[in-house]
Amino acid sequence: MVSKGGGVKPVLVNHYEKVTDRLLTSEAADNGDRLLTKVRVADVLNVDHLTGRLKGYALSAHFDFLMVEAETSIPRFAVELDGAQHWNDARQRERDRMKDALCEGAGLPLARITSDFTHRRGRWRVLSYLVDAFYMSEGFYAAQQAGHVPWDEPFMIESVIVQDDDGRSSFYAFDTDAIDRLWAHYNARRLPTALPDTWTTAVKANGMVQAHAYVAVAENRYLVARVRVRDFRFQGISPGQIASQLVVAEVGDLAERWLSGEAVACDRRELMKVMGEVQQAIDAGGFLSSFTSGGSLVPGGPLPLDATIQMRRLA
């Protein structure tokens, strides 16, 4: 028996590492795989051909979590749990870029998550949803290779139809319930617009993908939401897909609070600040996707034409 006062240290050192470990261990059991923690990058990827700083980094770095096939130990994907320093610490960002490049070069899917991914959003925890996307895409691509699915059909997790506990069918997405509620309020004339405008952009300087959404609910009153996630290259889902789903879900929650009498709406001046932030990311080459209904700002008065036209033109 090892003494608690000896020279060993716990492998998982904080609450969110432990929660992430439990969630990924459950996913591994459900899919016949095995989860490893704190595995050296050089034990997973071939680094013999590397030189200089990149090789030195590869020999010293590790993966927070690594999913492998249970029988063969062949890596499936890796997960990095990024803390606050990964957003704005220049040295940490450089290390992140090296690890991203190593994984991309080796073809290993790498998901970068924050502690928010361990939280539940509607029916799913964000991390579990992300991992489900990986395994669903594996089945989809196998079906394509077998000729059961057209070779040119893309995998879109939002197009997967699932049933809830009451037997109702819906799309497999975080924003499905919010969209249903927003449409119901619009049809009942409780809201002047059914769906928000959404813009998804990347900010390369700090490895961020962000989604903004806004919709008018009254004269000079807007519901505005913003979601930030880490940028990463995974299989089955992108950070932009996750952010755009979560931001619409957030608008749905804000709408419920607005209709219950809470002062959660902002004025046009605050809206323009948000639109300026989106425009800045677009001008820097970070445009990823958008959805604009054409009427989400009309009830609030005159459209902020310059920003809106510029963003739609660049989209």
Chain segment 253-286, per-residue pLDDT in tens: 999 999 999 999 999 899 989 988 888 888 888 9
Does residue 167 register a pLDDT over 80?
A: no
Task: Give the global pTM.
Answer: 0.88
CB atoms within 10 A of CB 187: 10
> How much is the pLDDT for 1?
55
Together in a domain, 113 and 195: no
The 10s digit of each residue's pLDDT in 30-59 is 999 999 999 999 999 999 998 999 899 999
What is the average per-residue pLDDT within 87-115? 93
Together in a domain, 163 and 126: no
Which one has a higher pLDDT value, 86 or 49?
A: 49
> How much is the pLDDT for 164?
73
Together in a domain, 108 and 21: yes
Together in a domain, 211 and 294: yes
Together in a domain, 70 and 187: no
Look at residue 152 and tell me if it is in a domain. no
Distance CA 250, CA 229 (A): 14
Q: Average pLDDT, whole number, for the chain?
A: 88
Distance CA 177, CA 166 (A): 14
Helix (H, G, I), strand (E, B) or coil at 183: helix
The count of structural domains within the chain is 2
Helix (H, G, I), strand (E, B) or coil at 157: helix
- In whole angstroms, how large is the CA radius of gyration of the chain? 22
Host domain of residue 185 = 158-314
Together in a domain, 163 and 124: no
Look at residue 144 and tell me if it is in a domain. no
Would residue 214 be called left, alpha or beta, if left means φ above 0 and alpha means ψ between -120 and 50 degrees? Answer: beta
Q: Are 217 and 189 in contact (CB under 8 A)?
A: no
Together in a domain, 163 and 310: yes
Distance CA 19, CA 115 (A): 9
Does residue 242 register a pLDDT over 90?
A: yes
Q: Are 245 and 158 in contact (CB under 8 A)?
A: yes
Provide the H-helix boundaries in 77-208.
85-88, 90-106, 126-145, 176-187
CB atoms within 10 A of CB 250: 22
Does residue 13 register a pLDDT over 80?
A: no
pLDDT grade, residue 86 (50/70/90)?
Answer: confident
Distance CA 180, CA 170 (A): 10
Domain boundary among 130, 147, 170: 130
What is the average per-residue pLDDT within 131-151? 95
Together in a domain, 297 and 190: yes
What is the average per-residue pLDDT within 234-258? 96
Token pair 């394509």: residue: 144
